[in-house]
Amino acid sequence: MGQLVNGRWRSQKRDTGKTGGEYVREAAQLRNWITTDGSPGASGEGGFVAEAGRYHLYVSLACPWAHRTLILRTLKGLEPYIDISVVSPFMREHGWTFNTEEGSSGDPLYHSDYLYQLYLRNRDDYTGRVSVPLLWDKQRTCVVNNESSEIVRMFNSAFDHLTGNHEDFYPEELRGDIDATNAVVYETVNNGVYRAGFATSQKAYEQAYEALFCTLDQLEQRLHNNRYLTGDRITEADWRLFTTLIRFDAVYHGHFKCNKQRLADYKNLWGFTRELYQWPGVAETVNFFHIKHHYYDSHRNINPTGIVPRGPELDYAAPHGRG
Ligand SMILES: N[C@@H](CCC(=O)N[C@@H](CS)C(=O)NCC(=O)O)C(=O)O
């Protein structure tokens, strides 16, 4: 665990002292957009034209934020256009590594040992967190973006003219509903499990826990009436929820103390999770070895022995019954 400060790697513990034991996630800093014609996107600079083979995506298979980008890459048929590298599941004093003996694919572009070296290649005096996903431009040798919600949006449309895949996971007419759903799901579920797990005061933990299960109850009801979160059509909002749900019983329930009930105890959320898991191409993006070993081994402040639980035994491939 650590971060870059003025271009130097500093190994340090997460500091929740100033926030009363509450975990506060820092905003991502590198926010350029790939666009069809290279015009600037919603933030950052222009010049990042959608082209085959130009961009590289660095991910962790453990990370729910990186997982969103991997799923959109699959659903939008971007595999031949954007290649990927996977970091080791074990995040220790040097942060994410490319240790191939531990399950990383290595860094084929620069043979880096650590992910922070890519952040320094982009900017040698960088100060900030060194996180995945990281979208890299091989042509300009710089980072395009390190914010998953924006990478997902780029993948949804910027390459359509090349791939011929026009499936839209952020359709115009549903944007209001998708944005509103994302806001609640981000705050109380996606980031909510981290706020519960990384809290260092009882109060902060309980607040996160209550908010999380309150939202899960509401979503359970919503999925009773609708097949997907915003109706009968699957959207970005569903995929953003899915990456947390698929990790829920394996990690968040135990490791992050989100244990009011298991996901498998919710009829609709559990069926929904299985349906999305079984979506063509999606199961291949889910890696429970990386998921379980990352959390239980890397967060030694929460799990000092690093022992990774064997269970739970759940069948994500069982019929989902959502038809
Ligand atoms: N806002 C970022 C958050 C990404 C993030 O926090 N990734 C985690 C892995 S799950 C990470 O790399 N953390 C390392 C760190 O913050 O030092 C996004 O959604 O892309």
Residues 146 and 185 in one domain: no
Which one is predicted more confidently, 16 or 190? 190
Domain coverage including residue 249: 172-279
Residues 143 and 191 in one domain: no
Predicted pLDDT at 164? 98
Please spell the DSSP secondary structure of 68-81, one letter per residue: HHHHHHHHTT-TTT
Task: List, for residues 201-255, the tens digit of each pLDDT value.
Answer: 999 999 999 999 999 999 999 999 999 999 999 999 999 999 999 999 999 999 9
Residues 19 and 150 in one domain: yes
Statement: the pTM of the whole predicted model exceeds 0.90: yes
State whether the beta carbon of 258 lies less than 6 angstroms from ligand 1.
no
Tell whether 314 is covered by a domain. no
Residue in 246, 227, 293 with CA at minimum distance from that of residue 67 = 246
Tell whether 305 is covered by a domain. no
Tell whether 214 is covered by a domain. yes
Residues 152 and 183 in one domain: no
Tell me which of 129, 143, 182 to substitute to probe ligand 1's pocket, judged by most ligand atoms within 8 Å of the beta carbon: 129
Domain of residue 78, CATH code: 3.40.30.10
State whether the beta carbon of 94 lies less than 6 angstroms from ligand 1.
no
Q: Please tell me the distance between residue 280's alpha carbon and the centre of ligand 1 in angstroms.
A: 26
Give the chain's domain count. Answer: 2
- Sign for the CA dihedral angle at 314, 283, 100, 89 comes to negative
For ligand 1, atom 5, the nearest C-alpha belongs to 131
Residues 145 and 257 in one domain: no
Domain of residue 210, CATH code: 1.20.1050.10
Question: Rounded to the nearest 5°, which phi and psi values hold at 174?
Answer: -110, 5
Banded model confidence at residue 295, pLDDT cuts 50, 70, 90: very high
3-state helix, strand, coil in the chain (%, to 5): 40, 10, 50
Tell whether 213 is covered by a domain. yes
State whether the beta carbon of 147 lies less than 6 angstroms from ligand 1.
yes
Residues 267 and 248 in one domain: yes
| Cα gap 91→130, rounded to integer Å | 11
Tell me which of 86, 132, 292, 298 to substitute to probe ligand 1's pocket, judged by most ligand atoms within 8 Å of the beta carbon: 132
For ligand 1, atom 2, the nearest C-alpha belongs to 147
Q: Please tell me the distance between residue 131's alpha carbon and the centre of ligand 1 in angstroms.
A: 4
| Cα gap 318→275, rounded to integer Å | 9
110 is catalytic: no
Residues 189 and 256 in one domain: yes
State whether the beta carbon of 298 lies less than 6 angstroms from ligand 1.
no
Q: Which of 58, 63, 295, 296 is catalytic?
A: 63
Task: List, for residues 75-110, the tens digit of each pLDDT value.
Answer: 999 999 999 999 999 999 999 999 999 999 999 999
295 is catalytic: no
Tell whether 318 is covered by a domain. no
Residues 152 and 220 in one domain: no
Tell whether 149 is covered by a domain. yes
Residues 116 and 180 in one domain: no
Banded model confidence at residue 1, pLDDT cuts 50, 70, 90: confident
Residue in 313, 294, 274, 240 with CA at minimum distance from that of residue 60 = 294
Q: Please tell me the distance between residue 225's alpha carbon and the centre of ligand 1 in angstroms.
A: 33
Residues 14 and 131 in one domain: yes
* Final residue of a structural domain among 163, 181, 205: 163
Tell whether 108 is covered by a domain. yes
Residues 30 and 106 in one domain: yes
Tell whether 303 is covered by a domain. no
Predicted pLDDT at 323? 84
Task: List, for residues 197-212, the tens digit of each pLDDT value.
Answer: 999 999 999 999 999 9
Q: Which atom of ligand 1 is nearest to the CA of 69?
A: 20
State whether the beta carbon of 132 lies less than 6 angstroms from ligand 1.
yes
Answer yes or no: is pLDDT of 14 > 90. Answer: no
Contact 229, 284 (CB under 8 A): no
Residues 136 and 229 in one domain: no
* Final residue of a structural domain among 136, 163, 190: 163
